[in-house]
């Protein structure tokens, strides 16, 4: 088959990790008889530098003309202080998610067999295993609410960010979570802050209604502060974790670290229509950019998710995951997952070793 892929390489380590993931994709194509055509799409800080705005006209249309989108990361200190939203790289990220209707962000956090040592939790906790799927609502909530900054008469400057969720937005992400749980270990943990927030109370009431419909799936409510704690106490208790946009953003970074490193976790952002967008959960890592230090595994596994969820080619997806595990089993480590004093390899070598295992 022939697939057209939009590449948003972005900023910082984005181009480095996407470069390795593209080479892996081509190697998978060679092995399984697929071909790819790639279209580079400018977005983020690099687009601000090139054309003056982070989300140039036509960005969404270019992506919509493709079968899937692969994104590295956008942002960095160079563009960190702009007040004009067009000059902020992160605005582009939110816009592309909204414009492509990508309301479901799947972030699987699994402790890979060879990386038990990289888990920072107690040995007996790590031995219980970690294999959870964070289902993060991606196009609603506080990241998309009205942002304001204004002068008050008596309290000086004030700022506000509105958090809103509609019934429809909650129901569709809830259904995704329950459907995924049916393909996994039949458990959904819904994370909210219903003891304080009205959005969470609406969220919870809809999740309860869905849990009656999906009565074959075990269901629980977990308050977000407790969820953050449970993730380090005993992550093995979680199967599918469904939550709103900001809670999911924060908790998935935490979940990544309990599996060893943020450089390992892929994600799939999907809606009701193609294309899906695939990206590592990490950012542009300006502190290590351009030094061949970034772990490309999160982006390479994101390509695996692309094969699984957009192209419905599970064998190709399995082959990528097995290649990653084989390289890790041989002891190869980038700096983020190495023990102190252990020899490390760079981004390019890690990518090449994974390709050779395909
Ligand atoms: N999807 C996206 O494009 C995202 C963009 N960002 C943006 O990225 C920029 C930097 O954000 P930070 O808060 O520093 O988060 P970050 O995720 O970029 O980095 C956090 C820490 O993790 C390390 N790290 C991240 N990815 C790694 C990898 N593949 N291999 C090894 N180490 C890795 C970094 O070196 C850093 O120490 C900001 O401008 C932020 O807005 C942040 C998150 C997501
Ligand atoms: C702009 C942010 C919402 C990006 C981020 O941290 C993420 O999606 O994980
Ligand atoms: Mg994040």
Q: Return the ∠ at Cα 211 (arms to 208 and 216), rounded to 5°.
A: 160
- 266 within 8 A of 302, measured Cβ to Cβ: yes
- 351 within 8 A of 298, measured Cβ to Cβ: no
Cβ 143 under 6 angstroms from ligand 2: yes
Length of the chain: 358
Q: For position 309, what pLDDT does the model report?
A: 97
Q: Name the stretches of the chain with pLDDT < 70.
A: none
ipTM over 0.95: yes
Q: For position 77, what pLDDT does the model report?
A: 96
Six token digits for residue 255: 């979940």
Does residue 225 have an active-site annotation?
yes
Residues annotated within the binding site for NAD(+) are: 283-295
Q: Return the ∠ at Cα 260 (arms to 24 and 14), rounded to 5°.
A: 45
| 120-258 CATH, one of 3.20.20.70, 1.10.240.10, 3.40.718.10, 3.40.462.10 | 3.40.718.10
DSSP state of 143: G
Q: For position 162, what pLDDT does the model report?
A: 98
Distance CA 342, CA 333 (A): 8
Q: Ligand 2 pocket: which of 89, 93, 244 to mutate (most atoms <8 Å of CB)? A: 93
For 174-226, give the DSSP string: HHHHHHHHHTTTSEEEEEE-TTT-HHHHHHHHHHHHHHHHTTTSEEEEEEHHH
Cβ 249 under 6 angstroms from ligand 2: yes
Q: For position 265, what pLDDT does the model report?
A: 98
The residue ranges of every structural domain in the chain are: 1-105+265-358, 120-258
User: Is 1-105+265-358's fold the same as 120-258's?
Assistant: yes
Six token digits for residue 235: 């992550």
Does residue 272 have an active-site annotation?
no
Cβ 279 under 6 angstroms from ligand 2: no
Q: For position 160, what pLDDT does the model report?
A: 98
- 243 within 8 A of 135, measured Cβ to Cβ: yes
Q: Which ligand is nearest to the CA of 245?
A: 2
Q: What are 189's strand-pairing partners?
A: 220, 241
Ligand 2 atom nearest 90 alpha carbon: 1
Interval 46-100: pLDDT, tens: 999 999 999 999 999 999 999 999 999 999 999 988 889 999 999 999 999 999 9
CATH class for the region spanning 1-105+265-358: alpha beta
Does residue 143 have an active-site annotation?
yes
């Amino acid at each position: 088959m022939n697939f057209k892929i939009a590449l948003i390489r972005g900023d910082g380590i984005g181009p480095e990790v996407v470069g390795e993931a593209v080479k892996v994709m081509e190697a998978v194509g060679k092995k399984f008889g697929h071909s790819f055509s790639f279209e580079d799409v400018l977005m983020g800080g690099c687009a601000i530098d090139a054309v003056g705005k982070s989300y140039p006209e036509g960005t969404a249309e270019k992506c919509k003309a493709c079968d899937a989108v692969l994104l590295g990361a956008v942002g960095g200190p160079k563009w960190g202080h702009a007040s004009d939203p067009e000059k902020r790289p992160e605005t582009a990220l939110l816009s592309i998610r909204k414009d492509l209707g990508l309301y479901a962000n799947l972030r699987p956090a699994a402790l890979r067999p060879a990386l038990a040592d990289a888990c920072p939790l107690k040995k007996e906790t790590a031995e219980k295993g970690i294999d959870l799927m964070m289902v993060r609502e991606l196009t609603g909530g506080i990241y998309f609410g009205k942002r304001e900054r204004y002068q008050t008469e008596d309290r000086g400057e004030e700022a506000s960010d509105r958090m809103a969720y509609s019934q429809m937005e909650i129901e569709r992400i809830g259904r995704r979570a329950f459907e995924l749980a049916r393909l996994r270990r039949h458990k959904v943990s819904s994370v909210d802050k219903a003891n304080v927030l009205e959005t969470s109370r609406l969220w919870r009431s809809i999740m309860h209604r869905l849990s009656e419909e999906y009565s074959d799936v075990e269901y629980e409510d977990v308050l977000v502060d407790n969820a953050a704690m449970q993730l380090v106490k005993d992550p093995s208790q979680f199967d599918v974790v469904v939550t709103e946009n900001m809670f999911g953003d924060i908790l998935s970074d935490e979940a990544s670290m309990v599996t060893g490193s943020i450089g390992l976790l892929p994600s799939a952002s999907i809606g009701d229509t193609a294309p899906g967008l695939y990206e590592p959960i990490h950012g542009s890592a300006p502190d290590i950019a351009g030094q061949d230090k970034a772990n490309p595994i999160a982006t390479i596994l994101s390509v695996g998710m692309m094969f699984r969820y957009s192209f419905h080619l599970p064998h190709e997806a399995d082959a990528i995951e097995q290649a990653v595990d084989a390289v890790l089993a041989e002891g190869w480590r980038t700096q983020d997952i190495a023990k102190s004093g252990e020899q490390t390899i760079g981004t390019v070598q890690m990518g090449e070793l994974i390709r050779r295992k395909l």
